[in-house]
Structure 1
Amino acid sequence: MAYWLTCDGVPALLSQLGASHEEFTHQQLDDLPNTPTTRYIRDVLVAAAVLPPRDDRLEALPRWADALLAHAPLPQRKFLTPFTHWYLLHRIRRAHRHRPLRASTQHQMRSRLRRALELLDWLDEHGISLGELTQPELETWLEEGPEKRREVRAFVVWARDRGLAGELVVPRAPVAAPSVFSTDEDQAEQLHRCLGDDALPLDVRTAGALTLLFGLQHTRLLELTVHDVIDDDTVVALNLNGHRLPLPPEVAQLVRALRDQRQKRWHLDQTASTTPWLFPGQEPARPLGTTYLYLKLRRHGIAPLASRNSARLALATDLPASVLADFTGTSISNSTRWTGYAKRDWLDYIASRVDP
């Protein structure tokens, strides 16, 4: 808290807010530039129960969408405003009532709206109305652009279901198979460094070991709090979506050390944070960014993507999809794809389950 009070802009902003005789609201801060100073003051007010908690990533989406649509022609806005607010945002809010919005979901929503704008721009250029768009014309537009144009599927389905477009079909974008892997020797060498090199930062060693052994996605790692470390003094496990992931002793030692370190830091940061992140960012109320963690691992000689892919493939060779999903905290569809990559015959596993 003392550090942030010395930063440029913090005292002035506090004075500005204090001089107002109005009740504090999130909207007051939303009207200010989105800077680290503004975010920190919001976090302090939330931690002090002056403002109610909210999902800032989710709440930022309507403002971003309105700013984008403000530059679109009026006829396009007549389609895209209800598509954005009554379809995209409504579905996201319903799915994230009890869990924070992930950056990947935020990016997907933004991409879907941008693709819809691109399609409507193309229709205007060619003098075609949305209701007159044919399947061959839609396929022409899809083939002329990058693969991400298939994300217009959400808009096409929405328009078709409301009678605004014909019986149009946009194929789902195929999920690319992983192509970057580490050799067994590289995997073992990187894991050895994570477990034994005290010169590496503790968060790098811990995140690296969990990636190399379990193929955990960074978005999942960065959702962990100190409370997700289950420690009964004999076995240490991680809570992943309600499932316990037991840790080998050397990895458990790293996780314990990181938890203890983060707990001490959080006790100092409680004035601005209500969540004791296991991988906190520079701003106390937020975890590290996924890109920052990715680059930090690479800077210290850990290959995040190749390591994760190799670990996930090794696990998929030995585990069925349902167990792999629980074990790594990933979705069943993602785990099913990985077991398909491993091309394992599960008859022996089924036999072992029914054997007395």
Structure 2
Amino acid sequence: MARPRKAEDPARWPEPCGRCGQHHQTVARWPDGGVCTYCYQQAKRTRGRCACGHDGVLPGVVDEQPACRRCSGVVLNIDCRQCGAEDELYDGGRCWGCVLGVTVDRLLTNPTTGVMAEELVPMAAALKAMKRSNSGLTWIRQKHVTEFLQDLAIAPLITHEALDALPKSHTRDFVRGLLVEHGTLPRRDIYRARYEEWAKEALERVRDPENRDVIRRYIRWHHLRRMNQMETVSQGTFLRSKQTVTVAIELVNWLTDRAIELGELEQEHLDAWINDGTTTRLLSDRFLGWAIKARLVHTELKVRRHRRGTSARMSALDQDRAVERVVHTQELTRRDRAAAILVLVFGQQIEDVVALTWDAVKVSDEIVTVRVGKIDIALPDPLDQPWRELAANPGNDLTASHPNSNWVFRGYSPGRHVDPGHLRGRLKDVFSTRAARLGTLHELTKLAPVAIIADALGYSPATIERHAIDSATAYASYIAAVRDDAGPR
């Protein structure tokens, strides 16, 4: 990415640049005039096919079109002394790609044996083949990354367990993702692994050893057992499991502070604890239900349940305004606009949106279809435009993270789609994804039968039925209010 230009200074640099016309320092004189430092850098990075057929760097200008050195008469050293290719040179007459390759080999080679471990070869090859070599070199030369790769080079084993034993860091997770994406390590359920790692740290917050053992059993025999029965653990399951365990820890620590054992817990204790905190303490019913079945609590305790349907819902008018902003403005990137359409128009959950693959999207000159639920839905103009742009340039394809990714919404982590929480955060300035989704489902239930909506959008009939009942109740209240205002006839 080019650096932003400083303000021009005609007093200091009276001669304007022959290309941009601005007053900056002149660093070269070419046939088309003096060239400032910004245009000089841009010229070295301009690639394409010259009118003469030369394919490579086009630093010159002929008839207002980029041209090669021979056609334009520009004198510029852009020949890498290592690989011989035309490219921007970075160090010692070598291009960025060659410097990156040397750096990768040096860091991932065991200094004792002088050999790179076989398990690291695929990742090394992917790093050296990056389309944006300068980004790879910038990343790899950070001190913490350099040190991590050097430690990896001398590791006796390259396994998930070996990486788990290293200090937790973004670099560790990113390198693990690269190793998985390029076939060195097997894929594993990322949210289940994160939960296990989080649980170990969470147990340290339990002050009483006996209660720590109880929470450990709760995690193992309730949450982890459920996760083991799932094909894939979703982010929602991961977050809910963390929250319920956190609430359980708060409860047992509260009991410890008052010298009350878990088996002595009475309704009055529970009521006092709940009333003295936030509504998230109502989630203790999940832990207590398990504890009663495990005969750790001997009293039938009651916790009032959190009422469903209390979340905010976007009105139809606000939905229309949000769609207008998404479709007709450039507030969001093409990726975020495409995702927003699925939420606003089709009531899709963010977790399902980010998991979409290109197998479910068809883009042709005539039509764009997206598989939502069990059917392919055609997107009319202008809803199709962000999807056409995204198909032409899916993004995140210049590094080693996504060599052959099929995700529609690629994330920054290797081989992973964008994080649902990250996408929610990007959309929140335009609309709340939850409020928008609930508002859309509320409106759709007025237009079609429950069974059709559930099947088309991939929801359970029971979920759509709740929205339909809510929608009908709201409409009935509206009719009653209108009749009351009208008075007797």
Do they superpose with TM above 0.5? yes
Distance 1:198 1:284 in 2: 28
Equivalent residue number for residue 194 of structure 2? 60
Per the alignment, in what secondary structure is the counterpart of residue 318 of structure 1? Answer: coil
Give the alignment's Cα RMSD to 1 decimal. Answer: 2.8
Tell me if the contact between 1:130 and 1:164 (Cα under 8 Å) persists in the aligned partners. Answer: yes
Answer 1 or 2: which has greater strand percent. 2
Equivalent residue number for residue 42 of structure 1? 176
Distance 1:4 1:31 in 2: 26
Answer 1 or 2: which has greater helix percent. 1
Tell me if the contact between 1:40 and 1:272 (Cα under 8 Å) persists in the aligned partners. Answer: no
Alpha-carbon shift at residue 32 of structure 1 (Å): 2.7
Please list, as runs of the form range in 1=range in 2, the aligned pairs for 1:224-303 lying within 5 A after superposition: 224-230=356-362, 236-240=368-372, 243-250=374-381, 251-262=383-394, 265-266=396-397, 268-269=398-399, 275-299=405-429, 301-302=430-431
Please list, as runs of the form range in 1=range in 2, the aligned pairs for 1:67-216 lying within 5 A after superposition: 67-72=201-206, 73-95=208-230, 98-99=231-232, 101-166=233-298, 167-184=300-317, 186-197=318-329, 200-216=332-348
Tell me if the contact between 2:402 and 2:414 (Cα under 8 Å) persists in the aligned partners. Answer: yes
Count of aligned residue pairs for this structure pair: 336
Tell me if the contact between 1:317 and 1:344 (Cα under 8 Å) persists in the aligned partners. Answer: no
> 2:301 is matched by which residue type in structure 1?
L
Distance 1:203 1:111 in 2: 30
Percent identity, aligned pairs only, is 26
Q: Specify which of 162, 181, 203 is matched with residue 28 of structure 1.
A: 162
> 1:132 is matched by which residue type in structure 2?
E
Say if 2:439 is the partner of 1:310.
yes
Larger Rg over CA atoms: 2
Equivalent residue number for residue 351 of structure 1? none
Unaligned runs of 5+ in 1: 346-356
More deviation, 31-40/160-169 = 31-40
Indicate the structure whose relative CO is greater, using CA pairs within 8 Å and at least 6 residues apart. Answer: 1
Alpha-carbon shift at residue 290 of structure 1 (Å): 3.1
Alpha-carbon shift at residue 342 of structure 1 (Å): 0.6
> 1:212 is matched by which residue type in structure 2?
L
Alpha-carbon shift at residue 306 of structure 1 (Å): 4.3
Distance 1:31 1:254 in 2: 43
Alpha-carbon shift at residue 91 of structure 1 (Å): 0.9
Tell me if the contact between 2:346 and 2:440 (Cα under 8 Å) persists in the aligned partners. Answer: yes
Distance 1:275 1:344 in 2: 45
Per the alignment, in what secondary structure is the counterpart of residue 246 of structure 1? Answer: strand
> 1:174 is matched by which residue type in structure 2?
R
Tell me if the contact between 2:396 and 2:402 (Cα under 8 Å) persists in the aligned partners. Answer: no
* TM-score normalized with structure 1 length: 0.83
Residues 117 and 304 of structure 1: CA distance in aligned 2, closer, same or farther (over 3 Å): closer
Alpha-carbon shift at residue 305 of structure 1 (Å): 4.5
Distance 1:125 1:10 in 2: 43
Deviations 1:278-308 (A, max 9, x none): 1222334333333432332344x45544433
Tell me if the contact between 2:218 and 2:287 (Cα under 8 Å) persists in the aligned partners. Answer: yes
Alpha-carbon shift at residue 338 of structure 1 (Å): 1.5
> 2:236 is matched by which residue type in structure 1?
S
Per the alignment, in what secondary structure is the counterpart of residue 296 of structure 2? Answer: coil
Distance 1:116 1:303 in 2: 29
Residues 115 and 192 of structure 1: CA distance in aligned 2, closer, same or farther (over 3 Å): closer
> 1:33 is matched by which residue type in structure 2?
P
Distance 2:202 2:435 in 1: 36
Distance 1:193 1:217 in 2: 20
